[in-house]
Amino acid sequence: MLTDNTLNIANRQAYLSQGSDMCSMMPFYAFLKRVMDITLSLMLLTLSLPLMLVVALLVKLSSPGPVIYKQERCTIRGRVFCFYKFRSMPDNIENGKGPEWGKTDDPRCNKFGRLLRMLLIDELPQLINVLKGDMSLVGPRPERPYFIERFKTSIKDYDLRHSVKAGLTGWAQVNGYRGNTSIIKRVACDLFYIRNRSIIFDLKIILMTPFTIRIATSNPKKKALCISDRREKVPPYKLVFSSYLCSLHKFTYLKNIFFQKN
């Protein structure tokens, strides 16, 4: 369990009070972040539109059901919003079963859906969530209310993740903690981001993201850059080196997937 020494939070209520996007403590940062969210999400939507149209057609052909999968997730201050993804599983897969935690190489995915999730293309519709203001480009990944209630009782200060908007990518993700990986380490990364957030830090995470599409595996880097209790900037050479390692991992994983013997 995370400890107060790890988080170094003197006043928990004050920490949560920083959650408003236009909070009095960081109004200029909040304004710039929203401008960056709108500008970059519009650019990315425009550039990825041809790919998204092709993916939408293939999703429709691969299995019956809607192209876009909608799900309730939580963002800043625990507000519930409608979260968009390209559907990667059969329609109504959880009917009668209840929410299930995603697994590495989730057997519920169809073949095309597995490819979408491996390359994270299924996340592209969340650019619409960013435009709507439900999410930001950078922040803790949004989770389902069902799992949040479970994690809040077992992981200390888990709900502090909701002191900022949920993000399309984040410090945890570029450090390899996505999918079926350690929740405690993911929370530590998220809280490190929240305490040290700035436009420069956001841009670093955005630039690192294309190199760290790690394709969720159960074996992330053992030493994440986020585990630190000091409010200091991470040296740029560490960011570059981390991106390089993750890029090598990505191409190795793809090679193993596409060229493995049946």
Q: What percentage of the chain carries pLDDT values higher than 70?
A: 65
Q: Model confidence at 234, in pLDDT bands (50, 70, 90)?
A: very low
Q: How does strand 68-74 pair with strand 166-169?
A: unpaired
| Distances from the Cα of 56 to the Cα of 47, 71, 119, angstroms | 15, 18, 15
- On average, the pLDDT of the chain sits at 76
CA 55 – CA 112 distance, rounded (Å):
9
Q: 164-192: per-residue pLDDT in tens?
A: 999 999 999 898 887 777 889 999 999 99
Q: 190-215: per-residue pLDDT in tens?
A: 999 999 999 999 999 999 988 876 44
- Alpha helix ranges (H) inside the chain: 4-7, 12-17, 27-62, 111-119, 126-132, 145-154, 171-174, 183-196, 199-208, 236-259
Q: Model confidence at 107, in pLDDT bands (50, 70, 90)?
A: low
Q: 55-99: per-residue pLDDT in tens?
A: 999 999 988 889 999 999 999 999 999 999 998 887 766 666 666
CA 24 – CA 192 distance, rounded (Å):
21
Domain of residue 102, residue span: 4-259
- Count up the domains in the chain and report the number: 1
pLDDT at 108: 75
- Quick one: average pLDDT of 223-247? 46
Which of residues 21 and 252 earns the better pLDDT score?
A: 252
Question: Is a pLDDT exceeding 80 seen at residue 33?
Answer: yes
- Quick one: average pLDDT of 216-226? 42
Q: Model confidence at 106, in pLDDT bands (50, 70, 90)?
A: low
DSSP-derived secondary structure letter, 222 = S
Cα torsion angle, 58, 59, 64, 66, sign: negative
pLDDT at 96: 63
- Quick one: average pLDDT of 115-134? 91
| Distances from the Cα of 180 to the Cα of 105, 177, 218, 249, angstroms | 10, 8, 6, 17
Q: 40-60: per-residue pLDDT in tens?
A: 999 999 999 999 999 999 999
